[in-house]
Amino acid sequence: MDKTEGGEIDHFPDPKKMVRKGAKMKRKIIEKKINSISEHYSRECQTAKTKEELKELIVELDAAIKINGQIVLPDNTWSEIADVIIMCSQLAMQHGKTDMVRHEIEYKVNRQIGRMRNEQ
């Protein structure tokens, strides 16, 4: 139960807040499961598997078609993206580099936003 501004207990918590908490918990559970997988397999095995998943994603991207001037990706592309994200997460975990990867993501996203601002 949540507390209101006055300190009393709110018996009807904000549904949006509940959904966010649920989503955050779900992400943590998935992250723990990915970590368990990364601990089960060797670095060599997971490096090879990552290469395999990257190749499969490239096949899907190469199969993209243009319809009315818009790129349309095959339905399986999204599954392959998930595989690549999972495998890359495992590699970062196995090498103790998850914080470095998060930092690099933040840096690169912010850098691109800066470039976009300069384009205007």
User: How much is the average pLDDT of 78-99?
Assistant: 98
Any domain includes 86 = yes
Structural domain of residue 66, as residue ranges?
Answer: 41-120
Any domain includes 2 = no
In angstroms, how far apart are the furthest CA atoms of the chain? 58
Instruction: Provide the domain count of the chain.
Output: 1
Per-residue pLDDT tens digits for 106-115: 999 999 999 9
Per-residue pLDDT tens digits for 59-81: 999 999 999 999 999 999 999 99
Any domain includes 117 = yes
Check which CATH number belongs to the domain holding 112 and give it. Answer: 1.10.287
Check if the beta carbon of residue 37 is closer than 8 Å to that of residue 31.
no
Percentage of the chain exceeding pLDDT 90: 79
Any domain includes 3 = no
Any domain includes 14 = no
Any domain includes 105 = yes
Any domain includes 36 = no
pLDDT of residue 46: 98
Any domain includes 1 = no
* Sequence-ordered strand ranges (E) for the chain: 2-3, 9-10, 65-67, 70-72
pTM for this model (two decimals): 0.80
